[in-house]
Amino acid sequence: MSLFGRSSRSHLTFRPKKSSPSGNKGLQLKKHIDATLGSGNLREAVRLPIGEDLNEWLAVNTVDFFNQVNFLYGTLMEFCTSSTCPIMSAGPKYEYRWADGVKVKKPVQVSAPKYVEYLMDWVESQLDDEAIFPQKIGAPFPQNFREVIRTIFKRLFRVYAHMYHSHFQMILKLKEEAHLSTCFKHFVLFTWEFHLIDRAELAPLNELIEPIVFRYF
């Protein structure tokens, strides 16, 4: 079974799984990720393979992390509602308001499920845009690609932060803790390796992140 194998609750996946970008090259890199994860070496799994293009590596992993968050949140959808989570938050100190800079320019307060819906719609639109995530081998990445990647990872982190702060007891009840923990460690190590999220943004889960970074870096 894959390290990130689906549980019996997989029918609750938030939205369809995305495929790796960049054609055959993306598939090759995806196989490398799966192989290193399968060995249990998370530190090695995030390193840029020798001779590979950094943007290609970032692109393939971004799709992978989107799929992971998509699946994890999907297992909690019936428990994360506008009634249980009227505000998108990560504990009492951190509230997230939605703005995408295009359709919603001024940050607005929305419920957690609505925020996650907006967030995943936005990420999916970036992944589907071939001007940002090229599907053809050799097609150039845009100049602002790293900036887009950083924004995607910052927003995906907020879903992790909400799940841990608002739904951890349900995660324990559903016996998803080990899966969540492995996915989150992988996510943290990748963001740390390539400096994708500012430390201030990571504050809501700092107590979880520091031991991971200390152990692997």
pLDDT in tens, 158-183: 999 999 999 999 999 999 999 999 99
CA distance 64 to 26: 11
Question: Per the CATH hierarchy, to which homologous superfamily does domain 23-215 belong?
Answer: MOB kinase activator (1.20.140.30)
Give the amino acid at 86: P
At a CB cut-off of 8 Å and minimum separation 6, what does 164 contact? 90, 180, 184, 205, 208
The per-residue pLDDT string of the chain (217 residues; one tens digit each, 9 = 90 and over) reads 233 333 333 344 455 666 655 555 556 666 656 665 555 678 888 999 999 899 999 999 999 999 999 999 999 999 999 999 999 999 999 999 999 888 898 999 999 999 999 999 999 999 999 999 998 877 899 999 999 999 999 999 999 999 999 999 999 999 999 999 999 999 999 999 999 999 999 999 999 999 999 988 8
Give the amino acid at 34: D
Cα dihedral: 165, 158, 33, 72 (round 10): 50
Structure tokens given for 134: 């090229």
Distances in Å between the alpha carbon of 135 and those of 19, 23, 146? Answer: 11, 6, 17
The model's pLDDT over 46-82, given as tens digits with 9 standing for 90+, comes to: 999 999 899 999 999 999 999 999 999 999 999 999 9
Q: What three-state secondary structure class fits 24? A: helix
- Where in the chain are the domains? 23-215
